Structure formats: C-alpha cells, structure tokens
Structure 1
C-alpha cells in the first residue's frame, strides 16, 4: 500500500492525523527491524575509570599479598582490602549505570517509525526532503532542538525532521541550557522537530531507514544514495537547517 507523508494544511482531517501520530506508542510502530546502540558511558570516561581502577587495584593487591606474607603489618592488609573493595564497588556502579541507561540511547528502526531513546518518531511525520547527512558533530550545536534529541557518539550525524510526541511546540523557549543555540532565536510554534542521530554506523542506519520506509509504502527510492552524495557540513555559523513550520510544504516530492 502506498503511503503519503503528513503535510498540514489547516484541515480538520490533517490535524486529526497529526494528533493520532503524536499519540502513537511503541506498539503502533510495529516490529523492530534493526537497532543501533550508543554507549551509555563515553569511551573516554570508561577508559579513565579503568585507568584509575588499575592504579588503585594494583597497590591494593600488592599491600594485601605483602601483609599476608608477613612483610607488612596487619594494617597493610586492611588498606589493601579497602582499595580492592573500592575498585570493585566503583566498577559495579559504572556497569550498572551503563546497563540501565543503555536503552535510552538506542536507535531502533521499526516497521512504521523509529524509536529513539525510548521516544516514538513515526515515519508519517517525517519529510525525506529534510534529511541530511553531516560529516561532523559540529552541526549538532547549530540545530534548534532539545538536548534529548541529540544522540551522537562522534563523527557522522543523520539529521531528520519529525515529531516527538506532544512536545516540540515549546522548542526555542528553553534558552541555551536545554538548547544549544542563542536564546534570541525566534520561537517557531510547530510540532515538527529536528533529531540528530549519530551512532557509529550512520551509513547502516541510513540504508535501514530507506528499506523500512520503502517496505512501509513510502516513495523514497534512492534516499540513501541522495544522502550519501550530499554528505558534508552546511556552511556558515548560524542555524544550520531551518525548522519546519507547522504548515510548511513537504520538500520531498515524487
């Protein structure tokens, strides 16, 4: 069945369709097709924790062994044991945080949309004409959107425009704390928001996204190739890509 992307025109029918998609749940997305995981703990932080852990673990073991062998008093055993326990406790805590937070940074391609960090982004609310493949993370700070919509490791980033449930209309009112842009950026009351998706394999995500859209009936043949050809960094220093206004027409035309 051929499907069409949502284009608002002020009619009750289109507004009702928007409300339906903004109320969509994970169950409405259908079965998952592929998942791209982002580290819950940055590799640099993980390396630092491991390094500090080793610096504490080795002396702790040396002190413990020396005390057991009689080369040091009993206090050496106590200090060594405390160091070892400290390393084990910190390591277990980091592992627990990484495990419990990992799902919040997953990007899953479903039958009818994306699940990004636990948030539903239906295909119907996207506009393939507002998808861009940037070759660096600098672009992330030049897009007006909430911090929770920036799931980036490093390197390439896929930017796409879609909905984020019933949020979005407030974008531009949060100031630089929640939004990496000047608070002077004008407010645009729109349900359409930017998503910045930067897993390690952006190319794979782009290919899987095109396949899922085609399988769901959307006319996007050649989308992955178009994005790959246009891969780069937008010039300038201001807002990289304008926000899609509420009744702005689709840029994607068949």
Structure 2
C-alpha cells in the first residue's frame, strides 16, 4: 500500500467531478469520491472499480466532515496522496440584488471548502511521495463577468489560495496547481446557457467534463512533477475573447 496513489475528489457526484474520479481510477488511483449529494455520489462510485472507489458524504464547508472524510479515505486505502478540490457553486445576481447570505455561501463552498480540505489532508500529504493538490478555479478568476460578484470573487480568492499554498508547501514536496475551466456541459449550466455559450465559442462547442478530467489527471501525474503554482486554462479559448 505504501506506493499506492490515493485521491480524494470533491464534488464527485456528477459533472466534471465524476469525470475526474473516473479518470483517476482508470489511471490506477484509488479514489474517495466525495459529495454532499449522498445518493448521487454513491451511484457514481458504483460505476467504478469497487476495489478502487469509495463514496464518502462530504459538505466541504464543514471542518468536522472534512476530518471524517480524510480519516475514512485513509482507513480504506492506507494513504492519501492527492487532493482535488473540485466542489463549487455558481450563483448569479447583480450587485444591487445580491444578498450577504448568498455572497457568503458562495465563498464558503468555493474558497473556504478548499482551505479546510488542504488543512485536513495536509498531515497525510506530507507523508506521501509525489503529493499533489489541484483546485478547480474558473475563467471567472481570469476575466470579469457581470452578475457574478459572489462566484467570481470567490474563485479569485481560490486562485490566490492556490498560489500561497504552492509557495508554502513546496519545501514539503507537495505540488499545488489549479485548473481554470471555461463553460462545461454539466448541471451547473442550464441548456439555454449552454447553447448560448456554444454559439459564441471559438471552437464551436463548450467543454466536456472529460476535458477537465484530462487536465487534472496530468497535473496530479508524475508527468507534472516539476509543475507547481501553475494555472492551466481549459476553456477552448474563451478567455481570449473580448466582450
């Protein structure tokens, strides 16, 4: 078990989180697929190799649940070498209509959650060879989008957390990187929004969950052993467009 690669992936019930879990299992990882959607994440885990996949309930805003999730993962697989902070929420509102509760809720999931995850996983990551953390940011942390004050600012904060963690943890041999997805075909975007974004996309489509999973798989692999503090944009050129 000492050389086994073990990943904890949040937001793994569906969409790109489920795709990341599946890709890492295919790459030989053992994966704790974590989500607050208990039935859905169990269904996702049931589609994977039962020797390598475990469904774990997790509300990423709870420090206690993070500790339980990490303990459960290590008890099952014997180690924790990789953390993928993928869970996130998208909330839209104009500045004049935004509420303090909704704004704070976005920050708690999108930035506090990854912070709590890093804290909970850190003792085990320090013991691992080739340990890696990947945070899911967004092109909303590259360019501003109207009516995204809560989402955009929380992802900008996650971008900063990624950079600070990369610097602080480098000496421990823990690499910390981020992926920046553009629009992706997941339940986070309704059909009308997906169609509108695809119609204006440089490459004629929006992203697929596997596009993000492939990027994460690279960043946690030995092929990225000299990469930390990196920001890998996976957006089909969206961030190159103006307006």
Q: Determine which structure has more spread, i.e. the larger CA radius of gyration.
A: 1
Tell me the TM-score normalized by structure 2.
Answer: 0.31
Tell me the TM-score normalized by structure 1.
Answer: 0.30
Q: Which has the higher contact order (CA 8 A, sep 6+)?
A: 1
